[in-house]
Structure 1
Amino acid sequence: MKKTSLSHLALSVLVSLSTLGSPEAVQAQDKKVSQWPRGITYEIFVQSFADSNGDGIGDIKGMTSKLDYLQELGVEAVWLMPINPSPSYHKYDVTDYYGIHPDYGTMADFKEFIKQAHKRNIKVVMDMVLNHSSSEHPWFKDAVKNENSPYRDYYVWTHKNDPQTQKEGRPTGADSDNTRHWHKVEGSDYLYYGYFYGGMPDLNFDSPKLREEVFKMGRFWFTEIGVDGFRLDAARHIFPDERPHDNHQWWVYFRSEMLKANKDVYLVGEVWAPSDVVAPYLKGLPALFNFEMSWDILKAINEGRGDSLAIKHAKITDFYQSVNPDFIDATILSNHDQNRIMSSLNNDQNKAKVAASLLLTLPGSPYLYYGEEIGMTGKKPDEQIREPFLWDTKAKDKSRTTWLKPVYSTEATVAPLAVQKKDKNSIYNHYARLISLRNSSKALTYGKLEPISLENKAISAYTRSHAGENVLVVHNLSGQEASVTLPTQLETYTNTLFKTKGANLSKKTVTLPAFSSLVLKK
């Protein structure tokens, strides 16, 4: 029952605002031209987001109570990290693909959350973990006990005396321990395959029965519950690394089946790799996270050099468009598996603001990791990049979760949201202004990217153009003021749409204080 070829499958289907809530903010919402999935998505770790019942654990009702906040911020979708029953705090080892973890609430709670989100024009994307189940899943427990179990073929097995099989599926590169993905079963002569660790046995996608079970699961969440899409965990590892073509084909097959359940299905995949590895997945997963640009933005800001950022982004997007003209570039600064962007920038709020300015003015459909907009900090281990959201000061905060004592994001290091809302210079208001600008601009939401070369290498400059709207964006990624004279072809960009820290245009010269941004319009 080792993983073999998929060739037998039928795969042919292929605005400058200081605070939210102001009249200007309401007006900007009325002018919104972005439309999801080209809009902004907000990633939520439910356990840390908002607690409704005082047990210290974030839950669905708590999350529902914060939908107005997300709507005001300008978010058009939420991605929920796993909400299924699981023995772990992170819940990436599922024990019931049709249920809700009891700590988070009930299915009725989740249906109400979807209903309330949709009332606010917010889509709901849930994490779907298909690479593996939990070792505590009833399927696996039955398969371990009984070699003739109907679920035995749902997993991948080898005999302990078959070393050749145990070499299959190993990762490429330096990390190539032949046997570390195979795990022993006490009292058995068989081993099972688990790419990540023994508590997460891989599902066997060479099994027609397993594939049909997966389709059934997907149809359930789309048709009976009403979710709008899936974020697909570990999309690169459905089959072992030496079978990339089967991985690519599987997602085409999966999408074709999901389209039968929801003609507007949204699938975004996690393929943690450079663009040349990511691109072939675009035929089955039109939306993929752009990890490469997140790495490049961080590197550029820490080095104080922005001249190649737009060039690199244009190269990637042109490449992706050649594979799938309708691709959706899911851009990020960080997520639940990465050190938080604020910590990666040495807690420098000026750098964090310019990172946000880049994310929200470059092409793509941006994802914000919860708390990023208030400058939450965090470094691995994973629990400490998933710490509780700070809604208000401790004495007033009725929603803050307490399941984990924070190490990084405390009131000593991060001003709570309620405090930041009152500070026009806060990182929260920086995000709010940028999101409002982006959501009301066709050029920034949909526009073509044209990199601009200027003499100062600290500056990242580019134009965005769509449907007659043209904007020029310039960022200074360094700690020193920079001035540049606009070339002749850019002299018609004379109207200021957005600026930070006194950036300005005067007599064809753009002056950019350290870590500042300027957006101009014709």
Structure 2
Amino acid sequence: MIQNKRISRIIALVLACIMTVMMLAGCTSSSSKDKDKNAINTEFVDEDNRIDDKYGTCYQVFLYSFCDSDGDGIGDIQGLISKLDYIQDMGFSSIWLLPFNKSTSYHKYDVVDYYTVDPQYGTMEDFEALVKACDERGLDIYMDFVINHTSSKCEWFKEACEYLSTIGDGEPDASVCPYVDYYNFKKTDKVASGWKKVSGNPDWTYECVFSAQMPDLNLSSKAVRAEIEKIAKFWIDKGVSGFRLDAALHYFEADNPDSIEALTWFCDYVHGVNPDIYCVAEVWDNLNTIKQFYQSSCDSMFDFAIGNQNGIIVKGVNNNSDDKSGAKMAENIVNVYNEIKSVNENAIDGIFLSNHDVGRAAGFLLRKDERVKLAAGIQILTTGNVFVYYGDELGMGGSGKDENKRAPMYWSDDASAQGMTAGPPSYEPQTHTFGSYETQKDDEYSVCNYYKKAIHIRNKYPEIGRGVPTVMSDVAEQNGNICAIHKTYNDSEISLIYNDSDAAVTVTVSKDTYKYENVADYLVVNEELPEIDGEKITIPAYGCVILK
């Protein structure tokens, strides 16, 4: 009996141990599930869910300074072709080419012949090869189309001036010389600002607001419009997918209604050729003026309220000592969106930080690593079509005269390395704080790889580029350095929360209100990662979380 009892006790003890282990396993399993539910995946899962529309990410290229294929120090089309894999790998969907038509200047904004490729850049065959290579990679090409003015060396202008030199005191007759109607000529004794005397007949002047070498076109002329339509169709047939319209504010100087009408005419024409053609106009002015131009049929205007040195993003990131900097930034970004959409519900905001005219984003952000990255993250994740100036993804410097803003793409620390250009004439060497592409490419926390991840995150979630934004006021109220924006697109929702401060911030974000399960992705400036505990989310300094 004793033996049986002893056996029974042993059996009972074993069963008790088994039950205890099972209970502990059950508790551990439950705890693990809770932990797994709140765990953030630190391995980025790359998914390309881009939609083939006009809400992409565009890479702005100045050929002269981008990549040299033949060793003459000047970038060219073949050089660009050699870097298309880089552009594709970064995640861009299109390339905006600064002017490449035949010109007498390094910048090519004074076009001599609209039907040619400037010999410094290559041949028409090179351009056709570029189109083919871009098509193979799913990259669109946007052409910088200069129709506000031509070069003074353009045959149209030369013939018009030669004709004026023959008429003495008479009046010009467009039936004799059609090109006399292509420009704004005026017979006067006084030379107003923005006008110059015609060589050969000083009784006549011509309008040239930007430069004497850039006479303004007369966009009210039916003949000029027909010529421009012919040129646009030529390049569309060559494979161009869109047009960046230079100086649209100046089509009719100090006359916005007529400039808007001219912009509408051009965009209506190219959309009639192909509705998928994308148009973005440069209207370098404040938001109120930009809104006026959205009365046109142009898809986008560059957003000078959000971009540039004094734009919402740069000011918000630089003013992070203000304990409301993030909240104000969110409110301002959403306000710009609403203001534009109030004029044109089909408007696509043109989001940029810097370009060839205004200087480099890194300089605006005081060359501080964390600010350069956060500003890029906010820009790239903003609703609209995003434009990145070549080299900004490396944090390149460039300020002062225009040539300095168009510095050689910093592929290598070795200025003689393959592909490196010499830069524009009179270019002054610039300081590039964050190193060359060769230096950055393998550094997980480089500026370049931050840009790349941000673009890939945008490509992963269609809601980011297309969603209707609203301010997450209840989140911003918890900490003014938090920039919190919720977006809805069709039946999908996503939330973007940025920490515009130099210390980690924890906020509570309601899952019922914002319809998310977890931190789906994130952007960070160093090894510090976000954390989530239920609805409490900790965002590291200058970090960003995407809730989905």
Give me the TM-score of the superposition, normalised by structure 1: 0.87
Matched, 1:228 2:248: no
Aligned to 1:266: 278
Larger radius of gyration: 2
Q: Call closer, same or farther: CA 1:390–1:206 in 2, change over 3 Å.
A: same
Deviations 1:202-223 (A, max 9, x none): 0011221111111111111112
**Deviation (angstroms), 1:330:** 1.3
For the residues of structure 2 that align with 1:60 and 1:119, how far apart are their CA atoms?
16
For the residues of structure 1 that align with 2:108 and 2:208, how far apart are their CA atoms?
16
* Greater RCO, 1 or 2 (C-alpha within 8 Å, sep 6+): 1
Aligned to 1:171: none
Letter in 1 for 2:522: F
Determine if contact 1:387/1:409 at 8 Å carries over to the other structure.
yes
Secondary structure in 2 aligned to 1:230?
Answer: strand
Q: Percent identity?
A: 34
Deviations 1:179-219 (A, max 9, x none): 32111234421111111121111001122111111111111
Q: Call closer, same or farther: CA 1:16–1:212 in 2, change over 3 Å.
A: farther
Secondary structure in 1 aligned to 2:327?
Answer: coil
Letter in 2 for 1:55: D
Determine if contact 2:161/2:199 at 8 Å carries over to the other structure.
no
Q: How does 1:300-311 map to 2 (within 5 A)?
A: 300-304=316-320, 305-311=325-331
Secondary structure in 2 aligned to 1:95?
Answer: strand
Determine if contact 2:69/2:75 at 8 Å carries over to the other structure.
yes
Aligned to 2:315: 299
**Deviation (angstroms), 1:514:** 2.7
Deviations 1:456-495 (A, max 9, x none): 2222111122244322211122334433333575575451
Aligned to 1:517: 544
For the residues of structure 2 that align with 1:251 and 1:395, how far apart are their CA atoms?
42
**Deviation (angstroms), 1:159:** 2.1
**Deviation (angstroms), 1:289:** 1.1
Q: How does 1:358-397 map to 2 (within 5 A)?
A: 358-394=378-414, 397=417
CA RMSD of aligned residues (A): 2.2
**Deviation (angstroms), 1:511:** 2.7
Determine if contact 2:279/2:299 at 8 Å carries over to the other structure.
yes
For the residues of structure 2 that align with 1:507 and 1:439, how far apart are their CA atoms?
27
Determine if contact 2:280/2:298 at 8 Å carries over to the other structure.
yes
Deviations 1:82-109 (A, max 9, x none): 0011111111111111111000000010
Letter in 1 for 2:103: S
Which of these residues, 50, 57, 64, is aligned with residue 33 of structure 1? 50
Aligned to 1:173: none
Secondary structure in 2 aligned to 1:308?
Answer: helix
Give me the TM-score of the superposition, normalised by structure 2: 0.83
Determine if contact 1:49/1:389 at 8 Å carries over to the other structure.
yes
Deviations 1:4-30 (A, max 9, x none): xxxxxxxxxxx9898xxxxx6xx735x
The range that moved more, 471-480 or 150-159, is 471-480
Determine if contact 1:442/1:467 at 8 Å carries over to the other structure.
no
Q: How does 1:91-490 map to 2 (within 5 A)?
A: 91-147=108-164, 148=172, 149-161=177-189, 179-187=192-200, 188-223=202-237, 225-241=238-254, 243-282=255-294, 283-294=296-307, 295-304=311-320, 305-394=325-414, 397-404=417-424, 407=428, 409=430, 413-453=433-473, 454-455=476-477, 456-486=479-509, 490=513
Aligned to 2:30: none
Determine if contact 2:486/2:514 at 8 Å carries over to the other structure.
no
For the residues of structure 2 that align with 1:33 and 1:384, how far apart are their CA atoms?
35
For the residues of structure 1 that align with 2:217 and 2:429, how far apart are their CA atoms?
36
Determine if contact 1:78/1:122 at 8 Å carries over to the other structure.
yes
Aligned to 1:83: 100
Aligned to 2:77: 60
Determine if contact 1:182/1:192 at 8 Å carries over to the other structure.
yes
5+ long unaligned stretches in structure 2 = 1-39, 165-171
**Deviation (angstroms), 1:450:** 1.3
Secondary structure in 1 aligned to 2:157?
Answer: helix
Determine if contact 1:124/1:228 at 8 Å carries over to the other structure.
yes
The range that moved more, 420-429 or 450-459, is 450-459
Secondary structure in 2 aligned to 1:91?
Answer: coil
**Deviation (angstroms), 1:119:** 1.0
For the residues of structure 1 that align with 2:209 and 2:358, how far apart are their CA atoms?
20
For the residues of structure 2 that align with 1:360 and 1:394, how far apart are their CA atoms?
30
Aligned to 1:11: none
Determine if contact 1:442/1:469 at 8 Å carries over to the other structure.
no
Determine if contact 1:34/1:440 at 8 Å carries over to the other structure.
no
Q: How many residues align?
A: 481
For the residues of structure 1 that align with 2:276 and 2:219, how far apart are their CA atoms?
25
Q: Call closer, same or farther: CA 1:17–1:90 in 2, change over 3 Å.
A: farther
The range that moved more, 321-330 or 104-113, is 321-330
Matched, 1:73 2:90: yes
For the residues of structure 2 that align with 1:368 and 1:16, how far apart are their CA atoms?
28
Letter in 2 for 1:323: V
Determine if contact 1:491/1:508 at 8 Å carries over to the other structure.
no
5+ long unaligned stretches in structure 1 = 1-14, 19-23, 167-178
Q: Call closer, same or farther: CA 1:403–1:332 in 2, change over 3 Å.
A: closer
**Deviation (angstroms), 1:507:** 4.6
Secondary structure in 2 aligned to 1:127?
Answer: strand
Q: Call closer, same or farther: CA 1:17–1:390 in 2, change over 3 Å.
A: farther
Matched, 1:503 2:530: yes
Determine if contact 2:219/2:225 at 8 Å carries over to the other structure.
yes
Runs of 4+ aligned residues of structure 1 deviating over 6 Å after TM superposition are 15-18
